[in-house]
């Protein structure tokens, strides 16, 4: 078992990884906006972020054997949802550029916020490790 100085850093990295994956999905959705029968894909963040941050205040479930729980979903392999096209979409494509650009901007804001928080947290750890000397 590896020693972890600060589990918050690991969790923040997982959130950044999820946001980066969502960015790639959204870019792919926008690239396929004119592809017939293409289904827009998004990460189910309600489940993925709960898994990344750990339920119950960060207490992770421990297992005796790795085969007890499957690796489906979770922060390492988040559930990706395909959005169905509305009935009025003639080509069966479920990508709406306005929704995707909105998702892209919101995702960017959250990513930047978490990255800044991680940077500040690392600076605090560096300050503490140097006994308050810069």
pLDDT, tens only, 27-64: 999 999 999 999 999 998 877 777 766 654 444 445 55
Counting every residue, how long is the chain? Answer: 134
Comparing CA positions, the residue from 79, 81, 82 lying closest to residue 38 is 82
- Do 8 and 121 meet the contact criterion of CB atoms below 8 Å apart? yes
CB 42 within 8 A of CB 25: yes
Cβ atoms of residues 101 and 30 within 8 Å: yes
Q: Which helix (H) or strand (E) holds 46?
A: helix 45-53
- Reported pTM: 0.73
């Amino acid at each position: 078992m590896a020693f972890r100085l600060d589990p918050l850093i690991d969790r923040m990295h997982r959130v950044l990884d999820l946001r980066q994956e969502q960015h790639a999905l959204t870019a792919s959705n926008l690239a396929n906006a004119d592809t017939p029968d293409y289904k827009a894909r998004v990460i189910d963040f309600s489940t993925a972020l709960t898994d990344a941050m750990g339920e119950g205040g960060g207490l992770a479930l421990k297992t005796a054997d790795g085969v007890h729980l499957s690796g489906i979903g979770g922060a390492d392999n988040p559930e990706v949802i395909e959005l169905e096209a509305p009935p009025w979409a003639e080509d069966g494509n479920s990508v709406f550029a306005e929704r995707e650009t909105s998702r892209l901007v919101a995702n960017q804001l959250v990513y930047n916020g978490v990255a800044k928080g991680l940077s500040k947290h690392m600076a605090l750890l560096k300050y503490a490790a140097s006994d308050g000397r810069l």
